[in-house]
Amino acid sequence: MTVVPYSRISELPSHSGQAVRVRGWVTHVRSSGKVAFIVMRDGTGLLQAVLVKNAVSPEAWDRFGKLTQETSIEVEGEVRPDARAPGGFELGVKDLSIYGESPIDYPIQPKEHGIDFLLDNRHFWLRTPRQRAIGRVRHEVEQAIRDFFYERDFTLVDTPILTSAIGERSGLFGTEYFDLGTAYLAQTGQLYGEAAAAAFGKIYCFGPTFRAEKSKTRRHLTEFWMVEPEVAFNDSDDNMRLQEEFVSYIVARVLERRQPELKELERDVSRLEKIKAPFPRIDYSDAVKILQAKGSSVKWGDDLGAEDESLLVEGQDIPVFIYNYPKQAKAFYMKENPADQRTVLCDDLLAPEGYGEIIGGSQREDNHDKLLARIKEEGLPVDAYNWYLDLRKYGTFVHSGFGLGLERTVGWICGIHHIREAIAFPRTMNRLRP
């Protein structure tokens, strides 16, 4: 007996005229009494499977009658071209089996659902075309990130998630750690990345980071993914060049390989096609003047809020760097600007279309005493930073790096409103399930 091979729906065009078996989930069914249609999906595409009553066993015909949305099934039959079918091919069914039935109260129905309902049912919401498209764009962005750094000979270094208190200013999640007190979930891998840069020259880390920020905005998650390169002997200028090359590469890759997904998302791709390096650079002090002229109440010394960011990118088609912020607005590790000691050598990269900051980067303070003074000024526990200070004691070096937020980048590329849809199972202040 010949065994009919399994095929994924996306592979069917190469099996035209052949018998195959396909496994997946029913999206909908219809029947005219003698001919029945199953539309099913397997994650790679949609398939129309056609049963003719006289051509299948009575048992198979009965099983068709039991199908509901999300029933998991296997169909066997012949692949044939059909211009009207999704994907241009349909399956002439010889046999149908049911793996798992699905009661008719399946929560996600083809109608409008509220966002809380959808998030409560995230495990099912993921099965819908739009969410799948976002997931595939994210997957492509992650692959592009890895390829970009691999092609440029960066070494991937996985930095710890359980840390002693170090990182950014925003809130920390703590957990009991044996006899050593409290361990904190990493807010950044950067400080470890700096240590690794002295070992490998060019590195990046890429993983989940955690911030107990009490912000309920469309740009904040409590768990998000960040990619952080760190390069020995790069200064702040080199750092910005790397960022614009990196962002252009990621967008180009999605345009090249994910057109069907962008179409599903109804993304205006002409906006993305404009994303090419170099990006404009605005000095922070100039940015403040621009903002004040536009009526903002921002004062020199303030960090820029979401509204200010929107005002700054107004009318811009491509991302914009704002660089050299005041020292007091930024993290302790940023290098003092030799040309203006009130500021630090850093940059934020703001995405167009109001998506806001997707990257924060800086040259790092490489002078031991200045760094120590900043740690003390911020009231940070010097003990916890001894190893980090050592990097400035034994062979200090000019170095720079940045962190790109994955969900914000995916949100922008997909053109979605809230970044919680850019991760499979989002974590926010009021959501820990599913």
Q: Is residue 324 involved in binding ligand NSS (CB under 6 A)?
A: no
Judged by beta carbon, residue 19 or residue 398, the one nearer ligand NSS is 398
Beta bridge partners of residue 348, listed in sequence order: 322, 360
Stretch that binds ligand NSS, among 39-47, 101-109, 262-270, 353-361 (CB under 6 A): 353-361
Looking from the CA of 199 toward its CB, the CA atoms found within 13 Å total 10
The answer to whether 211 contacts ligand NSS (rule: CB under 6 A) is yes
**Beta carbon nearer to ligand NSS, 7 or 234:** 234
Pairing of strands 174-176, 182-185: antiparallel
Dihedral of alpha carbons 367, 373, 379, 381, sign: positive
Q: Site map for ligand NSS, 173-202, x if CB under 6 A?
A: ---------------x-x------------
Among 224, 246, 321, 355, binds ligand NSS (CB under 6 A): 224
Of the pair 101, 213, the CB lying nearest ligand NSS is at: 213
Q: How far apart are CA 126 and CA 124, in angstroms?
A: 5
365 in contact with ligand NSS (CB under 6 A):
no
In 126-267, which residue ranges form alpha helices assigned H by DSSP?
129-151, 190-200, 236-257, 259-264
Site string for ligand NSS, 63-82 (x = CB under 6 A): --------------------
* Min CB(388)–ligand NSS separation in Å: 13
Query: Is 213 near ligand NSS (CB under 6 A)?
Result: yes
* 411 makes contact with ligand NSS (CB under 6 A): no
Q: Does 345 bind ligand NSS (CB under 6 A)?
A: no
Helix-strand-coil split of the chain, %, nearest 5: 35, 25, 35
Of 226, 407, 246, nearest in space to 319 by CA: 246
Q: Edge-to-edge strand order for the sheet containing 202-210? A: 155-156, 202-210, 223-232, 399-405, 356-363, 346-351, 320-323, 281-283
Q: What's the closest the beta carbon of residue 404 comes to ligand NSS, in angstroms?
A: 6
The secondary structure of residue 365, as a DSSP letter, is: P
Residue with tokens 């750094």: 149
Contact 295, 314 (CB under 8 A): no
Binding-site string for ligand NSS from residue 130 to residue 169, where x marks contact by CB under 6 A and - marks none: --------------------------------------x-
Q: Choose which of 41, 136, 374, 408 interacts with ligand NSS (CB under 6 A).
A: 408
204 is a site residue for ligand NSS (CB under 6 A): no
| Residue 325 touching ligand NSS (CB under 6 A) | no
CA separation, residue 128 to residues 123, 136, 141 (Å): 10, 12, 20
Give the CA angle between residues 284, 290, 294 to the nearest 5°: 140
In angstroms, what is the minimal distance from the CB of 306 to ligand NSS?
12
Options 254, 313, 358, 375; binder of ligand NSS; rule CB under 6 A = 358
The closest of 46, 7, 39 to 23, measured between CA atoms, is 7
Residue 352, interface with ligand NSS (CB under 6 A)? no
Total interface residues for ligand NSS by CB under 6 A: 22
Contacting residues toward ligand NSS, per CB under 6 A? 168, 188, 190, 211, 213, 220-221, 224, 226, 228, 357-362, 401-403, 405, 407-408
